[in-house]
Structure 1
Amino acid sequence: MLNRVPEVTLYFWIIKIMATTVGETGADFLAFTMNFGLASTSYLMSALLAMVLFNQFRLKGYVPLSYWVVVVLVSIVGTLITDRLVDEMGVSLVSATVAFSVALLGLFAWWYISEGTLAMHSIKTTKRELFYWAAILLTFALGTAAGDLLAEGTGLGYAISALLFGLVIALIAIAYYRFGMNAVLTFWLAYVLTRPLGGSLGDLLSQPVKNGGLGFGTVGTTIAFTTTISILIVYLTMKQKKIA
């Protein structure tokens, strides 16, 4: 089987951050703006995720449209998992952050013991892809909890939280490019942190001014970012066909 995930480029990180923003604003739009509620939205999005994952596993290599649709839906579902735990079940943001951190570390340990690698460019079997998507789902759930904890739990606000997460990501990039930090560790650290970065940006853009946002709303923010993601996916698809 060919590698089933994309090369980690600037385009990868741009789309990933935008996908996390859509995960935040899209979940809020369906659950609250459309009044579906967290439970109904969770069931609907989980069903859609199951269908696109089924298609993803049928493919023998990386297909931009399939891959990024899965990422967007995983982002929404991961966001909803955390929101339901906190809003409906009364789990604190601290407890959720700790629990998802432990779960993610446990999954990474299981993955490494089973496969001997956590490398993002070694996703060439169904088993490794199962580990990969499970890890990504946990990163989105963890990132949602950590982002809300910093922005809302500490009262720092969305703008400062986005700035802080962006700063940490920049430091990780410097550690990789300047000091030779391990590529796999760098990737997964950045992957976790881009979730709260994108989520904070989404909240900053969509939330009302009185709540510390810019007031663009969940509809406008979701449409703008989804459109941009779609354009980039079309570009990457055409680029892939030219290379092939």
Structure 2
Amino acid sequence: MFDTLRRDIRAVFERDPAARSLPEVLCCYPGLHAIWLHRLAHRCWTHRLKFLGRLLSHLGRFLTGIEIHPGARLGPGLFIDHGMGIVIGETSEIGENVTIYQGVTLGGTSLEKVKRHPTIGNNVVIGSGAKVLGPFSVGENSRIGSGSVVVKEVPANSVVVGVPGRVTHRDGKKVEHGIDLNMTDLPDPVAKAIQSLMDRVGELERTLAELKSLLPPAPEAAPDQPVASEWEAEVPPSDRTRRDPSKLGTAGRRMSQD
């Protein structure tokens, strides 16, 4: 038990550069307070003191803004950064050295009293505002991008982004230099799709230019020669005055009408 508490404290120093001293971490980190209150509530829950467990969970929510059901299982080394708005459901299971940012939901998709919440593997990072919904597993060493909505299983060593969440990167190698908290260089599938369309448009424009180069040049009219209208081209000059009513007098227009 005390080893787990020490690992929780160590996780804060390892993953938050703003942590300066032990008194500061113990007194000013609501994520740590929520985790410790949950560990006590979970112990009550598993020893048939379910009401007391729910009461401690409610107290933790009131004090920290983080809601963790006392039935959830949290591994050692969990780090909740900022924490406000986090919801962790009853049948959730979280492995070791997991990092969770604010606004994350580990939710269920069923009303049955069965396993209905996700299982998070070791060394997983879940970005702010992400939603992981359903009774599936998120493989170890994976990253879930901020704002993603994940509704199906995530392989180990993967990066998931988007709504719904899609695996955009999987290197198959374990991270050896600690936990990767960088959430700014995640792949962007929308930008990739737009770039693909732009490349296709450029290719079509080049093809069109090549086809135009194969056409013969269009004939050009002499610069000083006026272009005749269709009516003037069909009627000889000697008949234009006779046939054009606008160039006849009143008597001529009457004769033309007759």
Q: TM-score, normalised by structure 2?
A: 0.27
Larger relative helix fraction? 1
Larger relative strand fraction? 2
